[in-house]
Structure 1
């Protein structure tokens, strides 16, 4: 198939494009920032002033010019395109019979709903909406989506796998208990409690210096957000990696729920029905309900290198069995459209 993919500039969108190409499809990739002369960040600021309609008209005008000599496409695949509304979809419809929108955030329950206005308004124009949360299926249908598919967050079958590490990599990235993620209000107290209970913690991520608990955390925060191969290396060099959920996004699992086991490191994540359906507790992953239980799980497994290795290997085998990869997700979405 010939596919037009419109998505963000970060690596995850490119990994999905690569999965489509691996499946044998021809893909044209437009980043959100290349649709208009203005950046996505700038245009989203206009939403605060109720100018979303103007953004949609601008996007539609630019798409019409950009696609003049392109297509037709078998499928237009949108990866959470917030700058495109009903007008833009009408332009896309001139070049395809099938429009898919994959939504990995939670615009239905998000407090910043104004930023999602165009995406939500355009749901009835999609032939398929793929969402990452169970409750989003009903919510999307209530907003007029014709066909909604639930998919799990994916890891990438190629990038998120054990790598050959140099001595320098091991020296640079090794840690006992790792957390990678942005600082949210509930995460500062959680991490402080882990430190108080003696967990040998290492943190990478943005915004931690703004946390009220920064005085307790500053010695364990080693850097900001990490992407690509360095992201894989830092997880692979950790004995245990913690998986926290985003309360604002109503998560019951996240990308890290798949990426950490895929890389072969022990996942220690919040206990949810979804996590328990993905991995056998105590055998393929560790789960907790609060910071004290998280600390207990981490400290216990660190004492036994054999059990640590067994859980890491079993978690990777289960990940492969689950098939929660970009390749399988894209295959499932295209089969449903």
Structure 2
């Protein structure tokens, strides 16, 4: 197929990985970058406009839609694939000449943060709505969605693979991901316990004063290959879920093992189905259980690394790359 792909096209973004997955699956893909609307540059006029509570800057939105419409007119796609385009004009998207109109959401579509009134008004008019949250399927159906599909999140082999370390520092435990209220207290407690043997990297962590009083390493966001480099320095890589999205798995579920890191994550039905606890990964349901896992990693580092390799082989062997998700979606269509 000829696919007109709309999504945030910065290096390391999941949208870019999905677009490349469709290309690898044999389709002709034309990408239009939606980043100027979705993530305006900090302190830029569009960013200030949004922070004043006025929504997306209308002049940026209009310019983006003109680029999309010009691309559609020239490219004449068989499918419009919209990667979380809830902030765009739904009427204009659905009016684009394409045989199929597909909307993909990487997050919980029942979380108001991931939708807009404009999107919800036209949700039922998309030919297919794809979600990575299994619980969203009946919710979408009850909202009148024409067709729905659940797919797991994925990893990108271009970025998520074992890499050589770039720093002599080595950490017993680490978390790579955004700072969220439901993660803050547990990360601070772990940092107080493990000190310099712990690293926490991602947006927002440097602003947590209680974390800065510990000797844990605190870093900013890492994307693309930088994520795999960060994983390479950590023995036990924490996979934490987003309670606001009611996650039972996340992108890190696949990215951590694919990068060669030991998956140490929350126990959920999906995690238990994807990886075997005690063989491919370590799962926990309480802080005491996590403490026991980290104690095992400290005393049995070679066994932990062997488990990480089994986890990597399981994720790679079970076909969880973005190209596999692209095939799942086109097969469903």
Q: TM-score range by the shorter chain?
A: 0.7 to 0.9
Assess if the C-alpha contact under 8 Å between 1:133 and 1:251 holds in 2: yes
CA RMSD of aligned residues (A): 2.9
Partner of residue 204, structure 1: 201
Contact 2:206-2:218 within 8 A present in 1 as well: no
1:47/1:29 Cα in 2 relative to 1: closer, same or farther (>3 Å)? farther
* TM-score in terms of structure 1 length: 0.86
Structure 2 length-normalised TM: 0.87
Match of 1:267 among 239, 263, 268: 263
Q: 2:301 is matched with which residue? A: 305
Describe the SS at the equivalent of 1:186.
helix
Q: Who is 2:119 aligned against?
A: 119
* Count of matched residue positions in the alignment of Structure 1 and Structure 2: 326
Residues of 1 paired with 2:281 and 2:259: CA distance? 13
Tell me which moved more, 269-278 or 12-21.
12-21
Distance 2:33 2:64 in 1: 15
Q: 1:278: which partner in 2?
A: 274
Give the alignment partner of residue 318 of structure 2, picking from 302, 316, 322. Answer: 322
Are 1:129 and 2:126 an aligned pair?
no
- For the 8 Å contact 2:94–2:126, the answer to whether it is kept is no
2: CA distance, partners of 1:60 / 1:192:
41
CA distance in 2, matches of 1:72, 1:202: 48
Matches within 5 A, 1:1-337: 1-10=1-10, 11=12, 12-33=14-35, 39=40, 42=46, 45=50, 48-49=53-54, 58=62, 62=66, 65-67=69-71, 69-92=73-96, 95-110=97-112, 112=113, 116-163=116-163, 165=164, 169-171=166-168, 174-198=170-194, 200-211=197-208, 213-217=210-214, 219-337=215-333
Secondary structure of the equivalent of 1:314?
helix
- How many Å apart are 1:211 and its aligned residue? 2.9
Unaligned runs of 5+ in 2: none
How far apart are the structure 2 equivalents of 1:142 and 1:47? 34
- Secondary structure of 1:6's counterpart equals strand
Q: Secondary structure at the match of 1:257?
A: helix
Q: Which deviations, in whole Å up to 9, do the C-alpha atoms of 1:176-219 show, x marking residues without a partner?
A: 211111111122210222234447311111212333633544x3
Residue 203 of structure 1 aligns to a residue whose secondary structure is: strand
Say if 1:197 and 1:90 are closer, same or farther in 2 by CA, change over 3 A. closer
Task: Report the CA distance shift for 1:64/1:105 in structure 2 as closer, same or farther (over 3 A).
Answer: closer
- Secondary structure, aligned partner of 2:31: strand
Change beyond 3 A, Cα 1:91–1:249 = same
Shift in CA distance, 152/135, structure 1 to aligned 2, threshold 3 Å: same
- Residue 302 (structure 1) shift: 2.3
Stretch deviating more after TM superposition (321-330 or 118-127): 118-127
